[in-house]
Amino acid sequence: MLPKVELHLHLEGAAPPAFIRGLAAEKKMDLSGIFNAAGDYSYTDFWHFLKVYEAATETLKSPEDYGRLTRAVLAESAASGVVYSECFLSPDFCGGRDVSAWREFLQAIREAADAAERADGIVLRGIVTPIRHFGPEKARETALCAAETAGDWIVGFGLAGDEKILEPKDFAWSFDAAREAGLRLTCHAGEWRGPESVRAAIRDLGVERIGHGVRAIEDLSLVDEIAEAGVVLEVCPGSNVALGIYPSLKDHPIAALRARGVAVTVSTDDPPFFHTTMEREYAGLADAFDWDESDLGAIAAASARAAFCDPDTRERILKRLEKAHA
C-alpha cells in the first residue's frame, strides 16, 4: 500500500458511525434520527449534512471522548496507509471556546495521537478551525484559543462551515490574530461558491492553502494565479462527488487543475459521511484518470511539502515517501 499524506480531515466528521452510536448509548442519548437502516450517517444535502454532523458531535462531551475519537480515527487513517495527517479541531465543540477547557481537550487529543504514533507510526498535527456559520464573534474567541496553544502541534488555523454565509473578510481579525501567533492559514472556499470566493479568501485572509478550491476551475485566470502564487488546494474528490458538486470522479476538475500547474493534494474531508477512505480516494483517482503509482506518489509528496508542520517533521515524512518509491 502506498504511503499517503492527508491535509484536510475534520476530526468529528471522521468519527465512525458505530463509535458515535456507542457513545450515544453510553450517555442514553437518542441519535437514531441521524442514521439510516444500514447504520450509516443519513442526510439529504450539504446543509442537512452540517446539522447531522453537529448532532453527532453532541455525543462528544469530554476530553476523554475526544481522546477515544482520535484513536478511532487514526486507526482508520493508518489502515489506509496514511503516514501524516492534519485534522481540523474546533474549540466550539471542545469546551465551548473556553481557553482552559480547550487546553484539556487538546491534551487528551495529543496523548491519543502520541499513542497512535507509537503504535502505527502515523503522525498527527492540528489546525484550529472556527465554523463560518457560527459567526465572526465566535471565530474571534476560537482564534484566541488557537493563539494560546499555537506551537509545534497546533500548526494552523482554518475556516470551515457554510461557505454561502458571510464573507472571508468578516473573519480577517481572527486570521490576523492566528497569523501573529505563528499559525499557517487555510480556508474552505470554492466548494459551494465559485471563483470569487476563492479570490476573496486569498486576498482578504492571506491563506496559503484553500480547502477544496476546486471551483477555481470556472475561471482559468484564477487557476493560473493560484499556480503562480503556489497556493495549495486541499482537494477532496470523494466529498465533492458525494455532496453532488460533480456527478462523478471522471467529471472532477482535479486532473485539469493539476495539468495547469496547480499544487493539488488529496484528502477525505469527512470519510464515513462520504463512504470514502484515503485508500479509496487514491484508487478512485487512478481509475478515473489513469494515474499510475508515480502520479499518486507525486500527489503524496506535494501533500507532504504543503504540510504545516515543522521542517524536520516534513523532511522525515518526505523520506518515508521516497523510501516507498525507491
Contact positions toward ligand ADE, by CB under 6 A? 10, 13, 160-161, 188, 191, 239, 269-270
Please identify, using beta-carbon distances, which residue of 65 and 234 lies nearer to Zn ion.
234
Residue 234: name its binding partner from Zn ion, ligand ADE, none (Cβ under 5 to 8 Å by kind).
Answer: none
Residue 110: name its binding partner from Zn ion, ligand ADE, none (Cβ under 5 to 8 Å by kind).
Answer: none
Where on the phi/psi map is residue 303: left (φ > 0), alpha (ψ -120 to 50), or beta? alpha
Residue 239: name its binding partner from ligand ADE, Zn ion, none (Cβ under 5 to 8 Å by kind).
Answer: ligand ADE
Please identify, using beta-carbon distances, which residue of 280 and 316 lies nearer to Zn ion.
280
**Residue pair 160/88 in contact by the 8 Å Cβ criterion:** yes
Alpha-carbon distance of 268 to 291, in angstroms, equals 18
**Residue pair 304/296 in contact by the 8 Å Cβ criterion:** no
Name the nearest CA neighbour of 274 among 237, 235, 303: 237
Catalytic residue of the set 86, 141, 163, 191: 191
Place of cell 457554510: 162
Residue 76: name its binding partner from ligand ADE, Zn ion, none (Cβ under 5 to 8 Å by kind).
Answer: none
Please identify, using beta-carbon distances, which residue of 14 and 24 lies nearer to Zn ion.
14
Residues 251-310 that bind Zn ion (CB under 5 A): 269
15: its cell numbers: 468519527
Q: Catalytic residue at 111? A: no
Taking the complex as a whole, the smallest distance from the CB of residue 165 to ligand ADE amounts, in Å, to 11
Taking the complex as a whole, the smallest distance from the CB of residue 181 to ligand ADE amounts, in Å, to 23
Residue closest to ligand ADE when measured from CB atoms: 160
Taking the complex as a whole, the smallest distance from the CB of residue 9 to Zn ion amounts, in Å, to 8
Task: Spell out the alpha helix ranges (H) of 209-292.
Answer: 220-229, 237-242, 254-259, 278-289
Going by the DSSP 8-state scheme, the letter that residue 128 receives in this structure is E
Angle between helices 172-180 and 136-149 (to 10 degrees): 0
Chain contacts with Zn ion (rule: CB under 5 A): 269
Supply the residues annotated as catalytic: 191
